[in-house]
Structure formats: C-alpha cells, structure tokens
Amino acid sequence: MAMTYNLFLLPGDGIGPEVIEQTRRVLGWYAAKRNFAFTAEEDLVGGASYEAHGTPATDAMMKKALAADAVLFGAVGGPQWDKLPFGKKPEQGLLRLRGDLKLFANLRPALCFEALKEASTLKPEIVSGLDILIVRELTGGVYFGLPKETTTLPDGQKRAVDTQVYTTSEIERIARVAFELARLRSNRVASADKSNVMVTGVLWREVVHRVHDAEFPDVVLTDVLADNCAMQLVRNPKQFDVIVTDNLFGDVLSDEAAQLTGSIGMLPSASLGAKDAKGRQPALYEPIHGSAPDIAGKGLANPIATILSFAMCLRYSLGRGEDAALLEKAVERVLAEGYRTGDIMQPGMTKLGTSAMTDAILKALDALA
C-alpha cells in the first residue's frame, strides 16, 4: 500500500488561494496517476486568519503545521492590513511558522528555463542553462540578534542598533545542508561572507571549513566575499552551483539571483528544519512572490512558482525525486510550447490565465508520464 503523506495547505491572501488551488489540482493528478496518497487539510493564515480570528496565526493552525509532513504555503499580506500593529500583521503568520517549525535553512533555486532566457535582463548567453541554489540561513543573524533597539541620545539624536550574531552550531547546521545538497548536484559550494570586516564572517568561514574538511572533503568549497558574490552573480552566474550564506546576505543575494531568471512568478522555495531522531524534518514550501494584490482575484496569477514549490516538496520532503523531475519537465514543456501567463508574456506566444496554465501543465504531465 502506498504511504499516505500528510500535507497541510495554507493559501493565505491575495493570489495565494488562487495558486494553491492550482497546486491542489496537480496533487490530484499525482493521486490519480502516480499512486500518491495524501491528506491535504487547509487552514487560514495571514490577513485571512486575522479577519476570522484576530491573529495572523492561531495555535490550532500551528499545531497542524507542526504535525504535517510538509506545509504548502501561498502568500500573505495586502494593503488593507498595512496599518495593523506589528504583531498582527499578516507577515507575522509566516514568521511564526518559520520560528515554531525552526526552519533554519532556506533553499532558493534560480533556474533559467531555456524558453525564458530572453526574459532576463541579462544577455541570454549569460543565463542560458543557469541552475544555481542559494542556501540562506534563516533563523539567526542580524534580523534576530539582540540588542535590537532605537534609543534617544542626550543630544536628542536617535540611535538604532541591530546586532549580527552567529554561533558555531548555527553555522555548522546550515553548512551541512549546503554540502549535502551540493552532493546531489554539481558538488560545488561557494560560501559567501564578509570575513574581511566582520567577526561573524571570520567565525562563519572558520566553521564552514571545519565542517567541510571533517565531513565533506569530496565537495569543492570556495570562499567568496558577499559583495563580490553580488557582482559575480550578474557577471558570470553559471560559475556557481550552491551558494551558502547568512540571513542578511542571503536575503539580498537570493533576490538578485531571482531577477536573473526573468520572473518572480516562476520561482519556488523551500524552508527546512532539523531532522529528528526518526528522520522527520519540518518543511515549508512557498513561491518567492508575495500576494500580488494588483492582480488578485482576476485569474491572471502565474501558478508555476507554487507548482514548482510542490516539486521541491516531492524531492526534499517525500523522497520522490523522479516525480519532482517529471513535474519540472512538464513545466519546461509547456513553456517550450509557447504558453505564457501575463507576467512572462513574450511576442508570438499564447497568453493563458491561472487555470488554463495549470490545464496545460496537467496535459504535459499526461504526455510525459
């Protein structure tokens, strides 16, 4: 009998429910055609949860997220909630999920589909065949370090402080994730830090090398200063395979890498926690885009980023690499056939809405399976 996976769906706000609905259709295809048994309970998060319960993340929702094999997340936020107090804002729902599930590793692939190489702002030959993975530390560093405060000085000026902090174990565990993933790819890791000017950078480099030498000597490790890494990403991005970096640099570098591929509507992500004794690993999969209030409810959203996030779920949480590759191939085929949503539209191509794009992907899955 096939194993039953416990998936938990959190559509959220704006286009979130539209793209998660399409992902549900893909789940249905896998159930019907690939012996894939799953439960897929759904709940509210973000602004939708605030409207119903007065909080962006309820304890009951969090309990279900903690029990799931994987969480499939849409997007949260919207202008109607911008003025809420900080703790009630929709984004706090996502931050609570990341915090409570202890999702310390954020995986952001930047993959350029051949059919979309003209959509990049870089020359096609620079991005053609691009396939890099940015592994960003997600729960430490300057976004969480204390003190974090604004004080008023005796002369009336204000003084704001954020604190960049990393411990050995935080660096070790993110380095291990990067090295393990590199072994499944081209076996190369570039570690980006600022060891020339920051003591956290010095520790980062020291620990990454220690983990490498002791446990992953087969992986090719190079160091790159984070500012140089930003430059190299636009100069010659294909030199990279896996890039591992801290929370702040990862935030910036992963958005830069996303732009190389042309569209925010195409890019998936995964956030992983630590494996427990039984090998269970908390995981959340989400598109990198937000709730796109400007196109919400119009049937225009590109569902591919969310559908490819489910492909990452198949690969990393459910151990079904072949099924993941099948879904990625189906997306590639649809693009090669000239189908586009509005955000990736090019002259001479066929423009589809959210649901019609999923129809095309399901048809491609039928053809490839």
Can you give the binding site for ligand NAD, defined by CB under 6 A?
A: 15, 75-78, 91, 94, 264-265, 286, 289-295, 301-302, 305, 341, 343
CB 20 within 8 A of CB 72: yes
Q: Which of 69, 193, 241, 251 is catalytic?
A: 251
Give the angle 118-327-219 at the CA atoms, nearest 5°.
80
Distance (Å, whole) CA 115 – CA 127 = 11
Helices (H), 304-351: 304-316, 321-336
Q: 275 an active-site residue?
A: no
Distance (Å, whole) CA 110 – CA 132 = 5
On the question of a cis peptide bond just before residue 147, with omega within 30 degrees of 0, the verdict is: yes
Distance (Å, whole) CA 358 – CA 23 = 8
Give the shortest CB-39-to-ligand NAD separation in angstroms.
24
Q: 316 an active-site residue?
A: no
Q: And the tokens for 76?
A: 């949260």
β-strands 350-351, 4-12: how paired?
unpaired
Listed in sequence order, the residues at least 6 apart from 24 whose beta carbon sits closer than 8 Å to its beta carbon are 9, 40
Q: Which of 227, 238, 359, 363 is catalytic?
A: 227
Q: 251 an active-site residue?
A: yes
Please name every residue paired with 189 in a beta bridge, in sequence order, or none if there are none. Answer: 221, 242
Give the shortest CB-354-to-ligand NAD separation in angstroms.
8
Give the shortest CB-301-to-ligand NAD separation in angstroms.
4
Q: Which of 131, 39, 109 is nearest to 269 (CA)?
A: 109
Q: Which of 97, 51, 47 is nearest to 77 (CA)?
A: 47
Burial code (b: 16+ CB inside 10 Å, e: under 16) for 145-180 equals beeeeeeeeeeeeeeeeeebebeeebbeebbbbbbe
Give the shortest CB-266-to-ligand NAD separation in angstroms.
8
Q: Closer CB to ligand NAD, residue 78 or residue 250?
A: 78
Give the shortest CB-84-to-ligand NAD separation in angstroms.
11
Q: Closer CB to ligand NAD, residue 96 or residue 212?
A: 96
Q: 193 an active-site residue?
A: no
Q: Closer CB to ligand NAD, residue 53 or residue 351?
A: 351
Q: Which of 55, 58, 68 is nearest to 103 (CA)?
A: 68
Q: Closer CB to ligand NAD, residue 73 or residue 216?
A: 73
CB-count exposure of residue 353 (10 Å: 0-12, 13-18, 19+): middle
Q: 227 an active-site residue?
A: yes
Q: Closer CB to ligand NAD, residue 56 or residue 201?
A: 56
Q: Closer CB to ligand NAD, residue 75 or residue 257?
A: 75
Q: Closer CB to ligand NAD, residue 305 or residue 324?
A: 305
Q: Which of 5, 30, 193, 194 is catalytic?
A: 194
Give the shortest CB-108-to-ligand NAD separation in angstroms.
12
Listed in sequence order, the residues at least 6 apart from 284 whose beta carbon sits closer than 8 Å to its beta carbon are 65, 70, 71, 73, 97, 98, 101, 103, 270, 271
Give the shortest CB-352-to-ligand NAD separation in angstroms.
12
Q: Which of 33, 64, 100, 143 is catalytic?
A: 143
Supply the residues annotated as catalytic. 143, 194, 227, 251, 255
